[in-house]
Amino acid sequence: MAYSIPAPINAPQRILLGPGPSDTHPRVLAALAKPTIGHLDPYFLQVMNELQSMLREVFQTTNELTLAVSGTGSSGMEACVVNLIEPGDRMLVCINGVFGGRMSDVATRAGAQVTTLERGFGEIFSPEEIAEALQRVQPKVVGIVHAETSTGAWQPLEEIAKVVHASDALLLVDCVTSLAGAPVEVDRWGLDAVYSGTQKCLSCPPGLAPVTFSPRAVEVIERRQSKIASWYLDMSMVRSYWGDSRAYHHTAPINENYGLHEALRLVLEEGLEHRFARHMHNHRALKAGLQAMGIEYSVAEGQQLPMLNSVWVPEGVDDSGVRSQLLREYGIEIGGGLGPMKGRTWRIGLMGEASTARNVLLFLAALERCLLDQGMSLDSGVGVAAANAVYRNGE
């Protein structure tokens, strides 16, 4: 029987308002299609240099060891953990969602003696409770999530960094969802190892993980007594490829780096402050519209991420039914809850290129139709009107 070759890729047009990936700018897509060249070609080495420079600006750091790991955001997490942790090291991991739990799992696999500090999904940690845990555990590394994608909770870091450093520990931070959508000030806050992903507020397809390590973290890596558990993620070798020596380590994903290069250019052309303000403005408009429709956030006031809005599914409404209708009839993707929030929350992303007034208003109108079809009683257009009031008043 003759083999039937599958049809060529013809992906549908979607409006990506879930927890990631986000919409990709046409300039990034165009960059991805540029000619592939060698990973040691002089032009590609120039691209790498420029990538490092732009990443330092977006991370707000002067850290020499700043680069894009060849892998998705989870590879950034593993890179930070396995480079700082040696078997038997104590690590304190703060868990208030799925990704804190994942960090704990990675640390355990790296041989750490892991102690967890836990909060309910959607809650955040105080500096005082972390200080108490530090005194009790005396860890080498503290891991925490800045923007918990599974819950929409926004964790303040500046005071926590102070108490962590006072105990002589290193602070490792997950900024996968926050980078380029909210302030991430690595040097001013004193963050020692930070990782992110390209597919959230950077609005680049998944495939690379920006990371940065402080001089303190680099010193820890250089003083290790044991080999780093992952050859591929060993920063002592990878940094030689990204550094002056250009020592071959692996074949970098050339075109993915082109895409990130253009995505970073877009971020810096807009300006970080303007970009943060845009994300916050659209978050406030969405929030006003949802609350006018009787939909409440699952995270406390003042702790809600502007780029990842987690809300309670209204009573009597079918979670998956609404999400399926949004995708089928309007081409809009939103996310469902994870862990104990599964079936109870929606996660609505306004990340990077997807954070626009157009998307906010379109989503609210489409959601109204879905809720009406579910039998929910709503005044016509109330959500769109409330969001428009925010936009009109410039709040």
Note the pTM of the prediction, 2 decimals.
0.96
pLDDT bucket at 244, cuts 50 / 70 / 90: confident
Higher pLDDT, 217 or 395: 217
> In the chain, pLDDT over 70 holds for what percent of residues?
100
Which amino acid is located at 333 in the chain?
E
- Residue 191 pLDDT greater than 90, yes or no: yes
Contact partners, residue 20, CB within 8 Å, separation at least 6: 149, 177, 197, 199, 200, 206, 349, 351
SS3 173: strand
Q: Are strands 147-148 and 141-145 parallel, antiparallel or unpaired?
A: unpaired
Q: What is the mean pLDDT of residues 4-26?
A: 96
Using one digit for the tens of pLDDT, what is the confidence trace for 251-261?
999 999 999 99
Determine which helix (DSSP H) or strand (DSSP E) holds 283, and give its type and residue range: helix 272-292
Structural contact between residues 74 and 200, judged by C-beta atoms closer than 8 angstroms: no
In whole angstroms, give the CA distance from residue 228 to residue 337. Answer: 35
Q: What gap in Å lies between CA 183 and CA 292, rounded to an integer? A: 29
Q: How far apart, in whole angstroms, are the C-alpha atoms of residue 358 and residue 361?
A: 5
- Please state the rounded mean pLDDT for residues 23-35: 98
Domains of the chain (ranges plus CATH)? 26-269 (3.40.640.10), 271-393 (3.90.1150.10)
